[in-house]
Structure 1
């Protein structure tokens, strides 16, 4: 895998936003790769920069936002400096998006069929009957029966689970090389969440996609990810293959996250959940040293200096105390 061109390569991504007290930096020095057929999960608590990082890849940022990076490359093509016209050609075409709230992602005034066909006609100029045939096929591919009937319905007429399947179908209409799924199961109940996750993984394997999945749920990441990217206060603090990460998390924040998970042992031991003390630092202005310094039991004076994300064999960590991962099968 390391010898092939990544589907997506991001290096040193920064995003800043205007604020009355100065610039807010929700994304700082973010770097990662995704290869064909791979599922990468970006995890972390709310506000850590997961969604903003994903939106910055395609420059879908709010007014006033500034994006800087060393590189953003899609299948070897520089999209950091691409024109807005070129980005429109890529969005929804070569990179599909699945948003976390399907009811707001879909247009309430258009039928399901119109929204599916609109994407196809935008990127694949075709006759109406060809676009309709493709839309009906995609509804079947994502597990929605009676596609002709569903095509005539509006979003409010569908359940949350069906709406999310429609959003996934829209993302797949033009046979993308990659899907970005931003908290795609947040608004769904547990049973439907599991169905949507299984669907995404099945489609990824069926079509050979790269999948970037954003989630705050480590249990979800453990089931579906090939590789974990942990973010804290806008920074990537650890990356590792999933098995290695859950067996031996390196960064103190990553260990704290795992310690906050309830045990599924069911042994009645009654062990209390761990708590990460302190609060997330302000993201206004430049940050000095480790963002986790004030909350870390292992901090030392040298942590006040800038700490780069450093390679530790099969992963990387932004910590002075990280140890090499062992090879995983």
Structure 2
């Protein structure tokens, strides 16, 4: 059963939390396991082991072509190499190398009107470039050096549900000037919000009229305070409207391999009258968002869209 605490009891609630623990080193969600198949047929998300196996194959390819190792000059006849790994259903990673002279212009074309110039000759063992597609479809990735063209095909599946907003607002008219404890795991609109302590708030600490909010306890290890989809599906986080209760807190977005997508700090103390602030993030392919700091994260709303399985 939910327990409702009036506003005047909040100092007692906060005092019970004890002294804040130092924030831990950022850590992301565990990588998923998927078969180490060729990039042209692999679906799902590549695990760290998949990537390691793929990169070992790239090194063998380059050695067989006489393009292995680190180049400091044009050490071989002009050649180029391209191979593409499916990082997930909407993101590709191109492994490429060229021994063409500097005067030769080399271009990587992702097949969706996105292009980039490639340095040549390569001075690293292997160049890696990542790209995320915005729309589903079949794309041809092309590396062009002069008249030499190397291509690789890539099939994307980018399907998201409509944006989801209005989080926590169903409580807007039911609490009055108070907070309600909702346990360590709170679920709404297909998302799970986990922290050592979660509270639903209403009409207090700068919340706009008709809005509900969520307090997430961010004192302890970052891995203990997070939100993600209940199904494990990736999502896009367009923006978050939030603040803190008195001390800065920072959120971190991670992809399915535990790689950091981005971070955003909130220094606006809503319980001291500071308004909620909206951070326009545009984070794509998010697996989990965590929180670290010396206070509570106070969320008013999220603008998210969930990718289809």
- TM-score, normalised relative to structure 2: 0.25
Normalized per residue, the structure richer in helix is 1
Normalized per residue, the structure richer in strand is 2
Between the two structures, name the one with larger relative contact order (CA 8 Å, sep ≥ 6): 1
